Amino acid sequence: MKKGTLTVTIFWLGVVTISLFWHVADEKREHEQLALETARAFFQQIVITRAWNAALGGVYGPAGENLPPNPYLKDPLRDLSTEQGLKLTKINPAYMTRQIAEIAARKKGIQFHITSLKPIRPQNGAADWEVEWLQSFEQSSKEQGAFVFNGAKRIFRYMAPLYVEESCLRCHAEQGYKIGDIRGGISVVIPYLAKQDNFTLFAGYSIIAVLGAVLIITGGALLGRKRVLLLQANRSLQTEVAERQKLIHELEEALSQIKTLRGIVPICSYCKQIRDDQGYWNQLEAYISKHSSAEFSHGICPKCMKELFPEIEADKK
């Protein structure tokens, strides 16, 4: 029973351990999926904003320290002046994306980076991990995402490609791009995500494992005790059965030694001899002794005494 209890306990702990690791892996998948969907949503928002800008052919803003003219934009209408003397500069999709990324960097929140393997602006050059993912896009990969540690902080990196559209050719046609080509990509870095509370999870599963083991061991002990009691009762019953069988055997032997007379016994009306099964006539005493356990002791009854020995009766008087 102890071996069986140990086996069940080990099996229970194994099931709990497998369930724990499955739960941890499932939570990890959920966190990764949440991070991926969040980063994908920010990427799509930037793409939509760029499409709005491109549809307008670019937008203008007041040129100044916070918005200097884009030296990489080759457009004769890059800089304009209003009748009031206000100087304006054109903000194309790439410049707008960079402006949004710089604002996000100052907020120390989600970071964006527009980059390419062949950037017009050197500062848009790709980091090592961005180069690897940009190359994967050229191998038909649609997006990339992964958790990494930036020092002690865990961050999620995401990147998806930017495809060349007709509005892009005004600046990038001279680089040999055509519509549908991968121009580059936008990376999104999410610096803070909800942490997995593995301590609570491990603590909960540990409690379940211990309680289950205690119940199994306790139940095993109770079953073991009941088994001992059942074995004792079984041995007592076997002893009682053996004693009764012995008694039955003794009774059967005793019955086998009992002789009885049954049926019609032929007896002579005069001499009182009895005829046996072989046709011989036997004295009454001999026949009864042979066919039963009865034994005889001889004597004379008062009647016969008077008839056979009258002188003895006379002396008594």
pLDDT digits (tens, 9 = 90+) for 139-194: 888 999 988 888 778 889 999 998 887 777 666 666 677 888 888 899 999 886 55
User: Hey, what are 59's tokens?
Assistant: 């937008």
Burial of 117 (0-12, 13-18, 19+ CB in 10 A): middle
Average pLDDT across the chain, whole number: 82
pLDDT digits (tens, 9 = 90+) for 234-271: 888 888 888 888 888 878 776 665 556 666 778 887 78
Burial of 163 (0-12, 13-18, 19+ CB in 10 A): middle
The dihedral sign for the CA sequence 26, 30, 35, 36 = positive
Boundaries of every domain in the chain: 2-57+92-196, 274-316
As a whole number of angstroms, the distance between CA 89 and CA 87 comes to: 7
C-alpha atoms less than 13 angstroms from C-alpha of 307 in its C-beta half-sphere = 5
pLDDT digits (tens, 9 = 90+) for 58-79: 899 999 888 899 888 888 888 9
Which of 1.10.10, 3.30.450, 3.40.50, 3.30.70 is the CATH number of 2-57+92-196?
3.30.450
What pLDDT is recorded for position 173? Answer: 64
As a whole number of angstroms, the distance between CA 175 and CA 117 comes to: 12
At residue 280 the predicted structure's pLDDT band, cuts being 50, 70 and 90, is: confident
Q: How far apart are the first and last CA of the chain?
A: 93
